[in-house]
Structure 1
Amino acid sequence: MKILVTGTAGFIGFFVAQRLAQLGFEVVGVDNINTYYDVNLKHGRLQATGIETDNLQDNEPVCSTLYPNYCFIKLDIADRAQMENLFATHQFDAVCHLAAQAGVRYSITNPHDYALSNLSGFLNILEGCRKVQVKHLVYASSSSVYGLNSNTPFSVHDGAAHPVSLYAASKKSNEMMAHSYSHLYNIPTTGLRFFTVYGPWGRPDMAYFKFADAIIKGTPIDVYNNGEMQRDFTYVDDIVEGIIRVLDRPAVANPQWSSENPDPATSSAPYRLYNIGNSSPVKLMNFIEALETAIGKKAVINLLPMQAGDVLSTDADMSDLELDFNYYPKTEIQSGIDRFVDWFRDFYKV
């Protein structure tokens, strides 16, 4: 199989492309390497998979020195012409779409970036899948779509119609767009709602990354809502394992689906939604304590009110993924944080 993985200079995409290449699939990775956060980290991820980054040119493939079955192309998914050429050239069997403009808070001040990447870019993915009739599109959604829904644990069978940030709204839009293409063109699509992914090679805009940097430097960390928050933190290796399992089994229509009592997670079309998390929420202050233990230093904490766009708690109902794919996350918080801190110290030489 030839698989397109988008966002391969990003956190999760980097790990997925590497894993698929190790499994022997023919992998084409794309990323625009934008400046939302440090491009040196993005180059570091590419270099870790054998991609030389010194002279990357737009739309010019660079093949890995570690995995002969993996090539990378610097490309913006929002560029319609480039995406049409990409799909026409490679005739992908499957697509794992992980590229997006990330960040809840950034979406409040930079909304147009989300329209370009998360809406226009996703439409280009769907159109490419339609034209080459891919066997399966797996794409990243987010726990953010649950928004004002306070019925926990969050279930894909409950409504998610009240997002509280444009980022969340763009991810919910992706799910709706995917369903329309599954319905109109019989394209199997599976959306995965990620729950607070962390680990080595993570994103510097994420709280745990900022906290680690600040604790090591001895500078204060900002903790919102006075620390009264909890998240379903999920280690990146567990996320990748789930993605690989789902990618291997295209979505199918639900024969029991009823238009009179519609299930949001399934359809009469080959369409599916799953939560993918740890199913074990951790209080933010306990997560900080795990960082303190791994680093060997206490945090200086600055307690602040709730921020716009944030939610109090995330908690994934994982029953569907467990039932359909025998998927169970394995990584405990302290173990995952220890690995992250080891990587952080090594990468930043601290």
Structure 2
Amino acid sequence: MKVLVTGAAGFIGANLVIRLLKDEPAVDILGIDSLNDYYDPSIKNFRLEEIDKTVKEHPDCKWTFVKGNIADKALIDWIFSEFKPKIVVNLAAQAGVRYSITNPDAYIESNIIGFYNILEACRHSYDNGEDGVRHLVYASSSSVYGSNKKVPYSTEDKVDNPVSLYAATKKSNELMAHAYSKLYDIPSTGLRFFTVYGPAGRPDMAYFGFTNKLIRGEKIKIFNYGNCKRDFTYIDDIVEGVTRVMHKAPERKTGDDGLPIPPYAIYNIGNNNPENLLYFVQILQEELVSNGVLPKEYDFESHKELVPMQPGDVPITYADTIPLECDFGFKPSTSLREGLNKFVKWYKSFYYE
């Protein structure tokens, strides 16, 4: 199995690569990542080192890393012509809702132009009668639901009112993938991820940022005065969902008009159990104390500040995962305490040991 993983040094990408190396016999993976400095590059380097360790433990597998940007069309075309992937997992993207408010260019470059390059390369993988790409799996986001009031969020819901540019780019990815699936019969599946967390995650995420601030003695800001709920989804559950989806591409069919019926699907991958932000902070602080990262006498109350909702935020995220359960027999199930405990243990070993 030849797999191209974009964003391979990213949180989900690196964990996916490690999982494939462990579970897929003789898998051949090419990973690409720009290794930009949106957040601490040492964490990206740590993930790559973990991949290298895993490769050494599985000598029957192949791993190639390319440092580059998916917005570089010539590079993407070269990778497809030389490597000829059968499965493409596009996880490269500029992430973050708030960052998109002040740095929109990064989102257009990576999430729109970069994704277009991937789609075009998939399209041309069928040139000259080649077998080409059998399945394109790409990251979407729970952000596409915007401020929808109906919960849990279903992939059948209308999502035409994004509240951030980031969300708009992810919705655009879904529309672009649908058009290419229809026009060129490319089997594609979009995955709407819900608040992914865990060891070696992104420092711009709340659980990581809160930990950094508490250790520095700074106040943490809890938005919407604590009246937010998030469907926190542990990284291993996300990767399990991605690997299952990878192996089951939407079926190619021809319609009555003789044209392809788009082999296209969208799924939520979330915990289906939104947690209140104040409860989340409580669990995090308990784990920080029990693992010795912060002292037992730490005054958490004086380090919390309840503030209004920020632009681009939504009060709740809540995934309807019934289609995922029906089609793949899987539902994320890692509890918040279990997931945060693993994160805190990693944090302690990475920064203090």
State whether TM-score is above 0.5.
yes
| Distance (whole Å) between structure 2 residues aligned to residue 204 and residue 65 of structure 1 | 28
| Distance (whole Å) between structure 1 residues aligned to residue 48 and residue 40 of structure 2 | 13
Q: Deviations over 1:234-283 (max 9, x none)?
A: 00000000000000000126899xxxxxxxxxx93100000000000000
Q: Which residue of 2 aligns with 1:4?
A: 4
| Distance (whole Å) between structure 2 residues aligned to residue 178 and residue 46 of structure 1 | 29
Amino acid at match of 1:143: S
Amino acid at match of 2:33: D
| Distance (whole Å) between structure 2 residues aligned to residue 313 and residue 162 of structure 1 | 15
Q: Deviations over 1:268-322 (max 9, x none)?
A: 3100000000000000000001101101155310111110000000000000000
Q: Which residue of 1 aligns with 2:64?
A: 71
Shift of 1:67: 4.5
Give structure 1 stretches of 5+ with no counterpart. Answer: 52-62, 257-266
Q: Describe the shift of the 1:22–1:268 C-alpha distance in structure 2 as closer, same or farther (beyond 3 A).
A: same
Root-mean-square deviation over aligned CA pairs: 1.8
Which of 287, 300, 322 is 2:325 aligned to? 322
Q: Which residue of 2 aligns with 1:275?
A: 268
Q: Which residue of 1 aligns with 2:46?
A: 44
Q: Which residue of 2 aligns with 1:307?
A: 310
SS in 2 for 1:191: strand
| Distance (whole Å) between structure 2 residues aligned to residue 220 and residue 197 of structure 1 | 23
1:213 aligns with 2:206: no
| Distance (whole Å) between structure 2 residues aligned to residue 289 and residue 219 of structure 1 | 17
Give % identity: 50
| Distance (whole Å) between structure 1 residues aligned to residue 98 and residue 213 of structure 2 | 19
Q: Deviations over 1:24-54 (max 9, x none)?
A: 3211111000111111111111011117xxx
CA contact (8 A) 1:203 1:209 kept: yes
Q: Which residue of 1 aligns with 2:170?
A: 171
| Distance (whole Å) between structure 2 residues aligned to residue 210 and residue 150 of structure 1 | 28
Aligned length: 330
1:20 aligns with 2:20: yes
CA contact (8 A) 2:147 2:315 kept: no
TM-score calculated relative to the size of structure 1: 0.91
Which of 116, 122, 125 is 1:123 aligned to? 116
Shift of 1:219: 2.0
Which of 103, 106, 111 is 1:113 aligned to? 106
Q: Which residue of 2 aligns with 1:152?
A: 151
SS in 2 for 1:140: strand
CA contact (8 A) 2:185 2:252 kept: no
Runs of 4+, deviation exceeding 6 Å: none
Amino acid at match of 2:65: F
1:91 aligns with 2:90: no
SS in 2 for 1:290: helix
Shift of 1:66: 4.5
TM-score calculated relative to the size of structure 2: 0.90
SS in 2 for 1:29: strand
Amino acid at match of 2:312: G
